[in-house]
Amino acid sequence: MTWKKFSGEIIPSSIHEAVENAIEREYRQGNKLKVCIGTDSQVKGPVTDYATVIVFIREKKGAFMFIHQDRSSIKMSIKERMLTEVQKSIEVAYSLCDLLDLYHVDLEVHADINTNPMFKSNQALHDAMGYILSMGFVFKAKPEAFASSACANKMVH
């Protein structure tokens, strides 16, 4: 799984090591961190592009993020696609949660799902919320889910 910085620079180490190095660097600089993980997707003909982001928010001092992009040619309903986004975010959150706990970094999983029933993505809301909460993670949906709806959204091919 290849991860990049916002600049496009490829992260040569494992994502676990990169996150730990980032946390240690930020703590040495006196910054308190929160991590938000989210995924967004975009369907382009027969292909679906996905972008998963790990957003590091420095309290009162901006943010930075790591990005993973991938692509699938599996045709899905909108509900399946929304739940695939959530699954990708949860896989990353799960792989990092012990590390984040060790450093006392709060973690949120953001789903690009609208809380308004007028939107198609809403049909996945209850399943996604149950999935994320049952894993023990803090869940945010639109409009609070900026990691997926703003950050990952910008990174989808």
**pLDDT tens readout for residues 144-155:** 888 888 888 778
134: which 2 tokens? 């049952």
Alpha-carbon distance of 123 to 69, in angstroms, equals 25
Length of the chain: 157
Alpha-carbon distance of 74 to 90, in angstroms, equals 20
pLDDT band of residue 157 (cuts 50, 70, 90) is low
What's the whole-model pTM score? 0.91
Kindly give the residue spans of alpha helices, DSSP state H, lying in 12-134: 15-28, 78-102, 125-134
What average pLDDT score do residues 80-93 get? 95
Q: Can you state the angle between helices 125-134 and 78-102, rounded to 10 degrees? A: 20
Residue 150: DSSP 8-state: I
Mean pLDDT, the chain, integer: 92
Bridge-based pairing state of the strands 47-58 and 63-72: antiparallel
Cβ(92)–Cβ(100) below 8 Å = no
| pLDDT per position as a tens digit, 7-59 | 999 999 999 999 999 999 999 999 999 999 999 999 999 999 999 999 999 99
Cβ(112)–Cβ(144) below 8 Å = no
